[in-house]
Amino acid sequence: MARVNENFLKLKAGYLFPEISRRVSAYTDAEPEKAKKLIRCGIGDVTEPLPLAARSAMKEGVDELGARESFRGYGPEQGYEFLRKAIAENSYHGLGIEAGEIFVSDGSKCDTGNILDIFGDGLKIAITDPVYPVYVDTNVMAGNTGEANEAGQFDGLVYLPCTAENDFTPALPSEPVDLIYLCYPNNPTGTVATKEELQCWVDYARENDAVILYDSAYEAYLQDPELPRSIYEIEGAKECAIEFRSFSKNGGFTGTRCAFIVVPKALTGATESGERIALHGLWARRHSTKFNGVSYPVQRAAEALYSVEGKMQIKKLVEHYMGNAALLKAACEKCHLTVYGGEHSPYVWVKCPEGVDSWGMFDKMLQDAQVVVTPGAGFGAAGEGYFRISAFNTRENVEEVCLRIAQVFG
């Protein structure tokens, strides 16, 4: 009998973003005329064209594949040396991360889910709440949780609430945990962590023999040079943290697909009998067994993002989306809505008006303003009472969204 993985049955609703699409499709069927005005500020998907540096490099890469002398078949699973070196030299300049500790992949969503393959069963896992839903759902699929309660919280996970009351800064777990997911700049709240705050996490992880899974997909949006872009800016992090980064949100690669993960060679986990095992070797084995690498032209395109022109073009993209975030934040504030984030992040996290819950706000924005947002509750129980507006859009659309916010709440 082909028995199924029953852990999947614990996942009550669909994955958040497909669920939003389903509701938007239902609205479009019911209100086809109004739906023509829809503006999507739900999923954080980029809208601006791929930087010229990346496009040119990608075209050259394709041409190389078109000539026998420069044709390439399978590449190294962990990524071409040229890209791993560019990442080490640029993204980790002065932080002591070597090219060999970097693994190129097709996305951080996949990486943050797949990383669970190298960890054992029965681990205590800490997750900030609200959170990028992939961390929770992949743990459910892997059998690391029990059932969900009515609020959608899974038995067995250690939830670390991030609310306005604690300034969206999670407290250290009150019990020892083995894995900790952190994401800064934070998705969905748009808040940041200082070096001192991250140092507390690194110290905690080292004292408790825990591993931090640090998602830094939005680091390009940090506006303050004092704020850490990488967990490896923190002393001791190479002994306790894995970092996830992506070219999706800085270089506009959400459709192009390229990301990477850093697994330092000094980082170890333990076997049941207490033997220390390097996680780098386990991930290398996993990656080369289950993955065949990102395509050559795409890796050339990612490398080009580190060129002088590439860096300038990324800066322009980030300025564009941050300009959008500032407009959205100001429009909400003008309507006396309480707003967080949007200063070092492309996400604006808004408190729902009194008496409306987050799916209620999703419906109101859809029906009254034809604007798609993301309900905070979709990111976890502590996200109830908030909604997220993504600043990934054209300027024209964002200006229109601001007008509609004023009409609905002004």
Residues in 95-124 at the binding interface with ligand MLT, rule: CB under 6 A: 109
Other Cβ atoms within 10 Å of 96 Cβ, number: 12
Q: Which is nearer to ligand MLT, 300 or 344 (CB)?
A: 344
Beta carbon of residue 17, minimum distance to ligand MLT (angstroms, whole number): 6
Under the binding rule (CB under 6 A), the answer on residue 44 touching ligand MLT is yes
Give helix then strand counts, H and E, for the chain: 12, 15
Q: Which is nearer to ligand MLT, 130 or 269 (CB)?
A: 130
Whole-number minimum distance, CB 127 to ligand MLT, in Å? 15
Measured CA to CA, the distance from residue 371 to residue 393 in angstroms comes to 12
Residue with the two structure tokens 């005005």: 37
Structure tokens at 403: 């007008």
Taking CA atoms, 46 is separated from 87, 137, 167, 249, 314, in Å, by 22, 24, 28, 7, 12
Nearest distance, CB of residue 224 and ligand MLT, angstroms: 22
Query: Could you tell me where the DSSP H helices lie in 163-276?
Result: 195-207
Query: Tokens at residue 378, please?
Result: 């979709």
Residues binding ligand MLT: number (CB under 6 A): 5
User: Minimal CA–CA distance to 397: which of 40, 33, 3?
Assistant: 40
Distance between CA atoms of residues 18 and 332, nearest Å? 26
Whichever of 109 and 300 has its CB closer to ligand MLT, that residue is 109
3-class state of residue 211 by DSSP: strand
- Give the span between the Cα atoms of 368 and 107, in whole angstroms: 35
Binding-site member from 187, 189, 358, 370 for ligand MLT (CB under 6 A): 187
Which parts of 222-281 interact with ligand MLT (CB under 6 A)? none
Is there binding between residue 43 and ligand MLT (CB under 6 A)? Answer: yes
Q: Which two tokens stand for residue 310?
A: 């590439």
Q: How far is the CB of 136 from ligand MLT (least distance, A)?
A: 13
Nearest residue to ligand MLT, using CB? Answer: 44
Q: How far is the CB of 259 from ligand MLT (least distance, A)?
A: 10
CB of 383 to ligand MLT, least distance (A): 12
Beta carbon nearer to ligand MLT, 44 or 190? 44
Residue 128 binds ligand MLT, judged by CB under 6 A: no
Q: How would you classify residue 143: left for phi > 0, otherwise alpha for psi between -120 and 50, otherwise beta? A: left
Q: HEC profile for 231-261?
A: HHHCCCHHHCEEEEEECCCCCCCCCCCCEEE
Residue among 249 and 300 whose Cβ is closer to ligand MLT:
249
User: In the complex, what is the shortest distance from the CB of residue 388 to ligand MLT, in angstroms, rounded to a whole number?
Assistant: 8
Least distance CB 109 / ligand MLT (angstroms): 5
Nearest approach, Cβ of residue 122 and ligand MLT (Å)? 28
Looking at the Cβ atoms of 22 and 334, the one nearer to ligand MLT is: 22
In this complex, which beta carbon is closest to ligand MLT, that of residue 108 or of residue 144?
A: 108
Per-residue interface string for the shown chain with ligand MLT, residues 147-186, x marking contact by CB under 6 A: ----------------------------------------
By 3-state DSSP, what share of the chain in percent is helix, strand and coil, each rounded to 5? 45, 15, 40
Q: Which residues contact 18 (CB under 8 A, 6 or more apart)?
A: none
Residue 140 or 237: the one with the smaller Cβ distance to ligand MLT is 140
Give the residue with the Cβ less far from ligand MLT, 39 or 240. 39
d(CA 112, CA 129): 16
Nearer to ligand MLT, 132 or 321 (CB): 132
- Minimum CB separation of residue 260 from ligand MLT in Å reads 15
Footprint of ligand MLT (CB under 6 A): 43-44, 109, 132, 187
